[in-house]
Amino acid sequence: MSGFSLELLGQDGAARTGVIHTPRGDIRTPAFMPVGTAATVKAMLPESVRETGADILLGNTYHLMLRPGAERIARLGGLHKFMNWQRPILTDSGGFQVMSLADLRKITEEGVKFQSHIDGHEEFLSPERAMEIQRLLGSDIQMVLDECPALPASREVIEKSLALSMRWAKRSKIAFGEQPGRACFGIVQGGVLADLRQRSAEALREIGFDGYAVGGLAVGEGQPAMFETLEATVPHLPTDRPRYLMGVGKPDDIVGAVERGIDMFDCVLPTRSGRNGQAFTWDGPLNLKNARHAEDSGPLDAACRCPACQNYSRAYLHHTVKAGEIISAMLLTWHNLAFYQDLMAGLRTAIAAGALARFANGFRARYGESGPSPA
Amino acid sequence: MSGFSLELLGQDGAARTGVIHTPRGDIRTPAFMPVGTAATVKAMLPESVRETGADILLGNTYHLMLRPGAERIARLGGLHKFMNWQRPILTDSGGFQVMSLADLRKITEEGVKFQSHIDGHEEFLSPERAMEIQRLLGSDIQMVLDECPALPASREVIEKSLALSMRWAKRSKIAFGEQPGRACFGIVQGGVLADLRQRSAEALREIGFDGYAVGGLAVGEGQPAMFETLEATVPHLPTDRPRYLMGVGKPDDIVGAVERGIDMFDCVLPTRSGRNGQAFTWDGPLNLKNARHAEDSGPLDAACRCPACQNYSRAYLHHTVKAGEIISAMLLTWHNLAFYQDLMAGLRTAIAAGALARFANGFRARYGESGPSPA
């Protein structure tokens, strides 16, 4: 773990703020990681992603292994050079996308066989191959391969899946081996069953990881169940390692998870919403397609320093969304990533000041606790 | 014409270099104007367009009148503010797009009735309305409404169309009126018939314009016929006014037209090609989709200072084009616009040095005279 460490700088209730030190740069926590699926954060140049305040990106092993291929990226000098992002990159294991995107999956003890959703060719992902791919990419934080059953599922199904995931976690850790300055994270599974989450956390601690992720949430269980599961899980994770809630989420999901001790997040929501004409603001999400913006000469958010807010009116954003212009995806993605990073900065400052409850309650009062539908 | 003037700084054969002074900034000539059809140069932020060296953009009256509407843009403070481009903008009259895009066109002496290609609603464009729209947009250089018959056409058809265009030019000029600092350009028509081009040029000089465009070319007549037509037209245009070849063109078209005395160009080729995975280089166009780029770690063009060439490999561009990622449109559009602007800068320098023939011949020898197909 040389060169990779978590330094805690402040605590407020269960929430923490700090810095993850890595050879490629520091990651301020709580951190939001924009998703760069296919070696690009969609509709953004990496220098613009950095300008929003991002310290780290997420790359998707599943997409990159299929196209352009991990060995090719390695021959071209690794993912950082390939995509022009020199700061830390976390890669997932590919397991989640195999379950959600690939065709004709077949899971065995050894791993998972599937067909590419791009061209149908057959691929095989095992814990060992997942770690090999992430090593070839040059990933700074590598995730173990796990299996994530679709919810709702019976206790029996979840328990069986969890056992497999824990055996795969062990194999992943062994395959990761020693990579100075790089980290290997385990993933807690167990559905929304508190005792299974505890069992999973303890099994992973037994193996020993550089960080601990919470997987299998934000898959339809609802925010209350997600928060309850976090409350049942986080106390069983070590305090001196980063905690990462995978694939989460809406701004109010993030605020609640930070209050429950989570340090890292990733989600496609800000980027995907930006391509769909939706913008996040402190007063809740907005749909720029709505005709009420057509003659609005005001900015999206007067307090935001992103180019969309500094240089354009809501009327312009409405026009370019309606016309299907690429600039609308560029500007709204930039704004949404800036909003997420501003939210994380606000959370960090609030935790350091011991004022998280006030910040979080103020956020919810203005934004809307349950994340209103775009209007 | 107060505030709008052409200052000639050098001449080499028929070619000229100079500066068009406008209240919104200077335009170095020969100039290439990127096309910002719907109030955006597709896949680019305006500050990036400026970084490539563009002094002026073109906006399309047809698109803007249909969506978001000229009156709306006027209420929002004009096109410059709307699209965040404070430098000069030239707008066409809408006539060309009415002919090529709209449904159910009906041309009368009064103007042209048509249906929007977006939602089918009926619109009417007359010389007076075309100029009113351009005034509402706040355009710095406004074009007369003309009619451009599809080629090939009989002499009779071209002659009749030309007569109508000249009557519309007169009405357009009257409708333009006095707009200090803004310019009104006439458009020479006449197909590829030298005597009609001369007649058209003389008719426009009689009316008196701030600049003279050559229209109705690059519509399938071929480069030799286009160049012959320019040779038959330019000598009949005043030397102290800008000359603008509309909708042209490929890099070698531009070089040949500059040699024949043209000062201004616009074309969708660099932007549209960029969205289709094609890149312009001094060695001719490249198609980044081609598999031979898949493992090429070298830049698109080692001599180019655009972000695509400075920060990415051909392999990355290939990957993102194949994956349909927006960043490929962003990077290749930026590169192509930078290439076009570098070409214009090279032409300006060569003319000023009296070395245009050497520059143009060197360009053609390397690029390929007839503009090879992308490979």
Residue A374 lies in a domain: no
| One domain, residues B131 and B216 | yes
Residue A373 lies in a domain: no
pTM of the model: 0.97
Q: How confident is the model at residue B2 (pLDDT cuts 50, 70, 90)?
A: low
Distance from CA of B328 to the nearest CA of A (A): 9
Residue B306 lies in a domain: yes
Structural domain total, chain B: 2
* pLDDT, tens digit (0-9, with 9 covering 90-100), for A350-372: 999 999 999 999 999 999 865 44
pLDDT at A369: 60
- Write the burial class of residue B167 (CB in 10 Å: 0-12 exposed, 13-18 middle, 19+ buried): middle
Q: How close are the terminal C-alpha atoms of chain B, in Å?
A: 47
| One domain, residues B257 and B292 | no
Full residue range of the structural domain in which residue B75 is found:
5-267
Q: How confident is the model at residue B14 (pLDDT cuts 50, 70, 90)?
A: very high
Task: Report how far Cα A247 is from the mean position of its chain's Cα atoms.
Answer: 5
Judge whether residue A58 has pLDDT over 50. yes
Size of interface A-B (CB pairs under 8 A): 103
* Chain A interface with B: residues with Cβ < 8 Å: 38-40, 42-45, 67-68, 72, 75-77, 82-84, 275, 294-295, 297, 307, 311-313, 315-316, 318-320, 322-323, 325-327, 329-331
pLDDT at B150: 81
* pLDDT, tens digit (0-9, with 9 covering 90-100), for B77-108: 999 999 999 999 999 999 899 888 877 789 99
pLDDT at A209: 98
| One domain, residues A105 and A169 | yes
Residue ending a domain, among A217, A243, A267, is A267
Q: How far apart are CA A30 and CA A253, in angstroms?
A: 13
* pLDDT, tens digit (0-9, with 9 covering 90-100), for A271-309: 999 999 999 999 999 999 999 999 999 999 999 999 999
Residue A30: which CATH number? Answer: 3.20.20.105
pLDDT at B374: 41
* pLDDT, tens digit (0-9, with 9 covering 90-100), for A128-144: 999 999 999 999 999 99
Length of chain B: 375
* pLDDT, tens digit (0-9, with 9 covering 90-100), for B241-270: 999 999 999 999 999 999 999 999 999 999
| One domain, residues B107 and B215 | yes
Considering only the C-alpha atoms of chain A, give the largest distance between any 2 of them, rounded to a whole number of Å. 60
Which of these ranges, A159-168, A169-178, B98-107, B278-287, has the smallest mean pLDDT?
A: B98-107
| One domain, residues B281 and B187 | no
| One domain, residues B257 and B281 | no
pLDDT at B335: 98
Residue A375 lies in a domain: no
**Residue B106: which H helix or E strand, with range?**
strand B103-107
Gyration radius from chain A CA atoms: 20
| One domain, residues B252 and B110 | yes
Chain B residues touching residue A327 (CB < 8 angstroms): 40, 42-45
User: Rounded mean pLDDT of chain A?
Assistant: 95
| One domain, residues B344 and B214 | no
Query: What letter would DSSP give residue B35?
Result: B
| One domain, residues B147 and B168 | yes
pLDDT at B148: 86
Residue ending a domain, among B252, B267, B282, is B267
Residue A164 lies in a domain: yes
Residue A113 lies in a domain: yes
* pLDDT, tens digit (0-9, with 9 covering 90-100), for B115-128: 998 998 999 999 99
Residue of B82, B295, B311 lying closest to A72 (CB–CB): B295
Contact A76 B320 (CB under 8 A): no
Chain A residues touching residue B38 (CB < 8 angstroms): 319-320, 323, 325
Gyration radius from chain B CA atoms: 20
Residue ending a domain, among A241, A267, A293, is A267
B266 noted as active-site residue: yes
Q: Of B166, B1, B190, B148, nearest to B62 (Cα)?
A: B148
Q: At B217, is the secondary structure helix, strand, or coil?
A: coil
How far, CA to CA in Å, does B88 sit from each of B140, B142, B157, B262, B338? 6, 11, 36, 19, 18
Query: DSSP letters of B321-373?
Result: HHTT-HHHHHHHHHHHHHHHHHHHHHHHHHHHTT-HHHHHHHHHHHH-TT-PP
Q: How far apart are CA A99 and CA B339, in angstroms?
A: 44
User: Rounded mean pLDDT of chain B?
Assistant: 95
pLDDT at B51: 98
What is the arithmetic mean of pLDDT over A222-234? Answer: 97
pLDDT at B100: 84
Residue of B39, B68, B311 lying closest to A84 (CB–CB): B311
Length of chain A: 375
| One domain, residues A221 and A252 | yes
Residues of chain B above pLDDT 70, percent:
98
Q: How confident is the model at residue A99 (pLDDT cuts 50, 70, 90)?
A: confident
